[in-house]
Amino acid sequence: MKKKKLMSLIALGLALAYLAGALILFYATSSVLSVRFSQQAERIRLYNPMNSYAYHEMNIKEYSEIYMYQNSGNYPLFPYAAAIFDKDGNIVARSGSWLRCYDFEGENFHCYLEPYMTSEIKKTVAENQKETGYLFSHRFEYNIKNGEIVPVKLVVCDYNTENRFAPENLITLTFSDEKAQYSITDNEESGSNVNIYTTFVDTDENRYEHKLYTELYETIESEEMKEKMVRLCSQDNYGGGGSSSSAYFDYYDMIEVDGKKYCILQLSKRSEFLGTLLSHQFREFLIMELLVFIFIGFIIVLTANNIYNKNKKLENARVAFTGAAAHELKTPLAVISNQCECILEDIAPEKNKDYVESIYDEAKRMNNLIVTLLQYNRVSVLDKINKEKTDLASLARSETEKYTSIFEKKNIDVEIDTEKCEISCNTELLALVIDNFLSNAANHTLRNGRVKITVKKGVLTVYNSGSYITAEDAQHIWNEFYREDKARTSGKNSTGMGLAMSKKILQLHGYKYGFKNTDSGVEFYFSAVRHN
């Protein structure tokens, strides 16, 4: 599989997993919001302002103003609307944007702002609330007409802004072009005894909740609801009631003020799909999930890339190994074939013995190569090895004895300098490494040369006199089928696999290994002290 396709599949898998996770989070968020909606509905049902105010000492106007101001600001989670009806079904008061002025000396009044909230004012409030979250009411200018408070201007500011009462930080909401007869300023700056509190409701007409508010207001103003309120008010005793679901709530109750009956209607509504999709809870969950998936995706891509590169490298190595092995076998087979043809065609009968010897030599070379390939194949598939206690010095001497005849034949001076050194290793495999080092020394040492085998403090070295290993050869000397400059080789016994196999074995042991050029030759070594 190509790398690009692999990464595309990983990206697709991560995207599908992210969508699946988002779907789970969506339903989880929907469940949480459903529970919160039910909790809000329960609070609305249990809340009775009659317990908080001396309602029997109030008229319906005072009671309605307090009730609507309190309830308009109490339920911000989901769209909420409320209204008070008289016995004829007329709306006495309703929820919305309200302002309350509270005087510590006892003078209080409320102003219903909703009828004066133009689209422009709502837009200004929405834009500033979106940035600050809360607008502080600084100064209120108004008139009084027929006993009703009529707003003219309201000056607000961001409560969290430093030096918030500076002119450049004040925002003026103009409800009317009339000249205001009265003006009050919050005690935060003026030092007066007045506090101004404002509750803005449904100011952003672009939000999906605006549609829900509109539907709730239409329900309140419908003829069907008017008739229902008239019927409730006509009853002698009504303990309250309504209906509730995961997305809609209504509650009706009856009160008596100034000896007259009134009905209170409270409604709340949410969109199960859009409400969940656009909620800040779901948005936060998605951001958290995205960060987690970015981290996981990075790890997966990094791991997959490493595995792909490793497999690609192994595949390339396998192809190169197969090609090199075929090439190595092709040469002796060609020689054998050629010599056999000479014998069969009786080209030079006097040379038949030479031909047979040549065939025999090439057959032995092929056998050595095949044995080496089998050994390499066995070693290359190992991930871990069994180990036992072994004396490295004894192992080195034992392997050196196998080359006695070869060294004597070339009149090579052999020196062995060892000390007892017990190590933990796979004896069979480590013997193969020492054998390869000695074979390499035998092949690259000229007649009358010198070889020295040393074991000191867990480090084995095999030195042979002769030419150096060039910088170019040093880059490839541990690769499969690689042979150095033929000038360094005195025989044809090298398969080019010995050092590659030694490298794999030493890596399995975790041993440090290498070679270095000396003043008069080359020294191969490995340290039996484990290096991870």
Can you name the residues that pair with 108 across neighbouring β-strands?
102
CB atoms within 10 A of CB 151: 21
pLDDT at 498 > cutoff 60 = yes
CB-based burial label for 452 (10 Å; 0-12, 13-18, 19+): middle
- Contact yes or no for 202/210 (Cβ under 8 A): yes
**Domains of the chain, residue spans:** 47-277, 385-530
User: Cα 148–154–157 angle (5° rounding)?
Assistant: 150
Q: What is the mean pLDDT of residues 10-34?
A: 92
pLDDT of residue 223: 94
pLDDT band at 53 (very low <50, low <70, confident <90, very high): very low
Q: What is the mean pLDDT of residues 319-347?
A: 77
d(CA 400, CA 173): 102
Kind and range of the H or E run holding 183: strand 182-185
Which CATH superfamily is 385-530 part of? Answer: Histidine kinase-like ATPase, C-terminal domain (3.30.565.10)
Which one has a higher pLDDT value, 107 or 296?
Answer: 296
d(CA 21, CA 286): 9
Q: What is the mean pLDDT of residues 36-48?
A: 79
pLDDT band at 338 (very low <50, low <70, confident <90, very high): confident
- Contact yes or no for 156/99 (Cβ under 8 A): no
Kind and range of the H or E run holding 104: none
pLDDT of residue 254: 85
Three-class secondary structure of residue 312 per DSSP: helix
Which range is least confidently modeled, 69-83, 280-294, 334-348, 427-441?
A: 69-83
**Over the stretch 380-427, which tens digit does the pLDDT of each residue have?**
767 788 889 999 999 999 999 988 988 999 999 999 999 999 999 989
Residue among 84, 56, 59 nearest 147 (CA):
59
pLDDT band at 55 (very low <50, low <70, confident <90, very high): low
C-alpha Rg value of the chain to the nearest Å = 48
pLDDT at 299 > cutoff 90 = yes
d(CA 22, CA 13): 14
**Over the stretch 460-493, which tens digit does the pLDDT of each residue have?**
999 999 888 888 888 888 886 666 544 344 445 5
Which one has a higher pLDDT value, 144 or 326?
Answer: 144
pLDDT of residue 132: 59
pLDDT of residue 52: 46
**pLDDT averaged over the chain?**
84
pLDDT of residue 317: 66
pLDDT of residue 238: 64
Which one has a higher pLDDT value, 90 or 169?
Answer: 90
pLDDT at 103 > cutoff 60 = yes
Which one has a higher pLDDT value, 170 or 102?
Answer: 170
pLDDT of residue 494: 60
pLDDT cut 70: percent of the chain above it: 88
pLDDT of residue 294: 92
pLDDT at 47 > cutoff 70 = no
Q: What is the mean pLDDT of residues 255-269?
A: 87
Distances (CA, A) of 294 to 15, 130, 283, 297, 301: 11, 29, 16, 5, 10
pLDDT of residue 341: 87
- Contact yes or no for 368/495 (Cβ under 8 A): yes
Q: What is the mean pLDDT of residues 190-205?
A: 82
pLDDT of residue 217: 92
**Over the stretch 263-294, which tens digit does the pLDDT of each residue have?**
989 999 998 898 889 888 899 999 999 999 99
Cα first-last separation, the chain:
33
Three-class secondary structure of residue 153 per DSSP: strand
pLDDT of residue 62: 78
- Contact yes or no for 330/36 (Cβ under 8 A): no
pLDDT of residue 499: 87
Which range is least confidently modeled, 127-131, 165-169, 528-532?
A: 528-532
Which range is least confidently modeled, 48-57, 112-121, 302-311?
A: 48-57
Q: What is the mean pLDDT of residues 127-153?
A: 86
Which one has a higher pLDDT value, 398 or 57?
Answer: 398
Question: Which amino acid is located at 434 in the chain?
Answer: I
Strands 413-418, 450-456: parallel, antiparallel or unpaired by DSSP? parallel
CB atoms within 10 A of CB 259: 6
